[in-house]
Copies of this chain bind each other. A is one copy, B any other.
């Protein structure tokens, strides 16, 4: 008889995530109870925000529970339903277990048209990462023609669209990424004006001075830490720092201090603002319409890394936290 493979949180990491923090379990395939559906996962999105959820932090989403399956944004197919809103065969998107099958109330799941775009795109450029880029860059960063925009993690799931949207608004766009191939792709395919390899550069201030000679007006922050500190020191008057993430800080066993001279927030009238895209779901239609249109018109490029097999999700996630993926990281579950 077929069994349901699922990956549970075996222990909470301190510092780097290790294989010992995960445990693969076999269980019976669930059967829908009244009001429930059972969804077979097709694709699972792996995202940096999952790292803070593995710790017991006071955070915006509750932490993952020990000995329960981790969850993540997924696309799947309804295989059993005792919920009148869903029928077997429906393709749905939403939070599902790191598992082949998830029993679910249906709350927060949304039906999608599988023919509208390749399924992984619903988890990337047209999904939460894409909308994160759109909300943060367009609505919060508001780049203007001629301004300089910096995007850390320039080719990541979010950064790749954030940079292109700023370019379409007429800004000079500079990024950083973790290897030369990513930087090449950012400049040649995404249209970044410049991109530096942050693993090779030692003096972030010097490279930013060279690539952003007029200072920085908008920082789309995904990384935090030393790169962000160097950006902070180079922000122009009335600059906006949009804090989307801080992947370099997620695995800090002891917290690191913020940038020097916080008083410059007054001197330069900076706005530093954090956001979480799930607060803004109501405005997603505008994004799907604008970016969907750009995608169809061939004006937006995107790239995913698809890892085959649920059993490879832990290793892929550990690689993600070290920047080993290229573009949006997705697991093909079954």
Task: Give Cα distance in the complex from A258 to B257, angstroms.
Answer: 6
Are B60 and A262 closer than 8 Å at their CB atoms? no
A54 within 8 A of B: no
- If A60-B237, A237-B60 touch, whether A270 touches B274 (CB-CB below 8 Å) is yes
Q: How far is the CB of A162 from chain B (nearest CB, A)?
A: 15
A28 within 8 A of B: no
Are B272 and A60 closer than 8 Å at their CB atoms? no
A30-38, A101-109, A239-247, A324-332: which lies at the interface:
A239-247
Are B261 and A260 closer than 8 Å at their CB atoms? no
Specify how many copies of this chain sit in the oligomer.
2
- If A60-B237, A243-B265 touch, whether A260 touches B270 (CB-CB below 8 Å) is no
Which chain A residues (198-257) contact chain B, with CB distance < 8 Å?
A: 224, 228, 237, 243-246, 249-250, 255-257
Q: How far is the CB of A243 from chain B (nearest CB, A)?
A: 5
- If A257-B257, A261-B255, A262-B224 touch, whether A269 touches B237 (CB-CB below 8 Å) is no
- Residue-wise, chain A 30-61 has the 8 Å CB interface mask toward B (1 for contact) of 00000000000000000000001000011110
Task: Give Cα distance in the complex from A250 to B266, angstroms.
Answer: 12
Q: How far is the CB of A125 from chain B (nearest CB, A)?
A: 21
Residues of B within 8 A of A271 (CB): 271-274
A290 within 8 A of B: no
Residues of B within 8 A of A258 (CB): 257-260, 262
Residues of B within 8 A of A57 (CB): 267
Q: How far is the CB of A72 from chain B (nearest CB, A)?
A: 18
Contact of A267 among B52, B259, B266 (CB under 8 A): B52
Q: By the criterion of a CB under 8 Å from any partner CB, how many residues of chain A are at the interface?
A: 37
Residues of B within 8 A of A270 (CB): 272-274
Contact of A260 among B58, B245, B246, B255 (CB under 8 A): B255
* Top 9 A-B pairs, shortest CB-CB distance: A258-B258, A257-B257, A265-B274, A246-B263, A266-B274, A255-B260, A272-B272, A243-B265, A258-B262
Interface set of A (CB-CB < 8 Å, partner B): 52, 57-60, 224, 228, 237, 243-246, 249-250, 255-276, 279
Question: Can you list 28 pairs linking A and B with CB atoms under 8 Å apart?
Answer: A52-B263, A58-B267, A59-B267, A60-B237, A60-B267, A224-B262, A224-B263, A243-B262, A244-B266, A246-B262, A246-B266, A249-B263, A257-B257, A257-B258, A258-B258, A258-B260, A259-B262, A265-B274, A266-B275, A266-B276, A267-B274, A269-B273, A269-B274, A269-B275, A270-B273, A270-B274, A271-B274, A273-B273
